[in-house]
């Protein structure tokens, strides 16, 4: 019997589209299945002002394939010199839906991020006042903290104090990877949510490191041990309003992934929806996939849910995903789940 599942069209609440030739190559992969996405601002130079966000949005719209229906939801990259008035104007424009905070040095293109949190307090106060969400890359950057402990340390030493100081601030813990992240998000009340990526539901750190190093599974925050992956699965498949999809699809050309100092990022835009259907079916939660991909995110961001739908069909034959997509910037390897996937998105 063929199984089929129709959902409200999904949104991606954390996406890297890059710019130029890479943007042109990867955007169709997301626009094929997703109606909207929160666009990460970590370009070089970063998207810091409303004017830069408007210009980037125009470049994204220009790179869309003909006929595609896709709305980029823009973010501003928070720096220690961000002007609260510019943030307020950006929110009022309707184009900017969040501000992204990278601790300086935490990940790809984060050197303009925040080191001294006191310096961004006036911006956070303005955001709390106007209800604009803060998207947080939640890892400490202290080189003495073990990389596998950086998320838990961030929650204790930065996130919790920051939220106590700004109780009205609406916060999204981006791409959580630990049971501590799950527990903190679950207990956080109305003003707190968390995104979970596709790949963190599928891989643990053994996939990266056991039996030879697999650079295409390396991303930040790095995948943790199996017990954490299981906690993420439980959270995502629970349907709880706190948790929604942010793929963190983060393309880098193969030459920079397969490198002595390889870039962090997994590229999942191409196959996220079939992979999620597989994961949710495995956990007996297909009826909660729509909450995770299409309902909980808009509710937190106070946006309408999509009217259009997406249908997934389970076939006898496994789907063959492309191994790579070929952009004019170079080839980008598509995330390989390591198991056959029978769910296909209906054209």
Q: Which residues are near Zn ion by CB under 5 A? A: 248
Token match 């906690």: residue? 231
Cα–Cα distance, 203 to 197 (Å, whole number): 11
Partner touching 288 among Zn ion, ligand NCD, none, CB below 5 to 8 Å by kind? none
Interface with ligand NCD: number of residues (CB under 6 A): 11
Q: Which of 11, 12, 86, 248 is catalytic?
A: 248
Q: Give least dist CB 223 to ligand NCD, A.
A: 10
Cα–Cα distance, 310 to 7 (Å, whole number): 5
Q: Is 98 helix (H, G, I), strand (E, B) or coil?
A: strand
Cα–Cα distance, 283 to 296 (Å, whole number): 19
Partner touching 233 among Zn ion, ligand NCD, none, CB below 5 to 8 Å by kind? none
Q: Under rule CB under 6 A, which residues in 83-112 are in contact with ligand NCD? A: 107-108
Other CB atoms closer than 10 Å to residue 139's CB: what's the count? 28
DSSP E strand stretches across the chain: 3-8, 11-15, 36-39, 71-77, 96-101, 134-136, 171-173, 192-196, 243-245, 309-314, 324-327, 330-333, 343-345
Residue 42 contacts ligand NCD per CB under 6 A:
yes
Q: Give least dist CB 40 to ligand NCD, A.
A: 6
Q: Give least dist CB 107 to ligand NCD, A.
A: 3
Q: Is the CB of 34 or the CB of 343 nearer to ligand NCD?
A: 34
Q: Does 283 qualify as catalytic in the annotation?
A: no
Residue 150 contacts ligand NCD per CB under 6 A:
no
Sequence-ordered list of residues with C-beta below 8 angstroms from that of 36, at least 6 positions apart, any chain:
11, 12, 70, 71, 72, 73, 303, 306
Residue 136 contacts ligand NCD per CB under 6 A:
no
Residue 151 contacts ligand NCD per CB under 6 A:
no
Residues that bind ligand NCD (CB under 6 A): 16, 42, 107-108, 137, 219-220, 248, 250, 264-265
Active site residues: 248
């Amino acid at each position: 019997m063929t199984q089929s599942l129709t959902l409200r069209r999904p949104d991606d609440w954390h996406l890297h589209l890059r710019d130029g030739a890479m943007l042109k190559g990867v955007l169709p992969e997301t626009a094929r299945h997703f109606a909207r996405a929160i666009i990460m601002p970590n370009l070089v130079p970063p998207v810091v002002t409303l004017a830069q966000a408007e210009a980037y949005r125009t470049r994204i719209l220009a790179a869309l394939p003909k006929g595609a229906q896709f709305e980029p939801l823009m973010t501003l990259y928070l720096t220690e010199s961000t002007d609260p008035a510019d943030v307020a104007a950006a929110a009022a424009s309707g184009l900017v839906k969040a501000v992204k905070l990278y601790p300086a040095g935490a990940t790809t293109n984060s050197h303009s991020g925040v080191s001294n949190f006191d310096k961004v307090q006036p911006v956070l106060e303005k955001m709390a006042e106007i209800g604009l969400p803060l998207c947080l890359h939640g890892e400490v950057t202290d080189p003495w903290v073990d990389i596998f402990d950086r998320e838990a340390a961030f929650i204790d030493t930065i996130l919790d104090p920051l939220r106590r100081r700004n109780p009205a601030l609406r916060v999204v813990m981006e791409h959580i990877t630990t049971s501590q992240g799950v527990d903190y998000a679950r207990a956080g009340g109305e003003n707190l949510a968390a995104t979970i990526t596709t790949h963190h539901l599928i891989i643990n750190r053994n996939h990266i490191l056991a039996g030879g190093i697999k650079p295409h599974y390396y991303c930040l925050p790095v995948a943790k041990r199996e017990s954490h992956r299981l906690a993420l699965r439980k959270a995502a498949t629970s349907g709880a309003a706190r948790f929604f999809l942010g793929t963190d699809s983060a393309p880098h050309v193969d030459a920079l992934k397969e490198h002595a100092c390889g870039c962090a990022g997994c590229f999942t835009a191409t196959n996220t929806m079939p992979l999620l259907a597989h994961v949710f079916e495995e956990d007996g939660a297909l009826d909660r996939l729509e909450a995770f991909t299409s309902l909980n995110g808009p509710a937190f961001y106070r946006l309408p849910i999509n009217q259009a739908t997406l249908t997934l069909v389970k076939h006898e034959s496994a789907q063959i995903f492309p191994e790579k997509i070929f952009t004019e910037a170079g080839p980008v390897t598509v995330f390989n789940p390591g198991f056959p996937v029978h769910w296909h998105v209906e054209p």
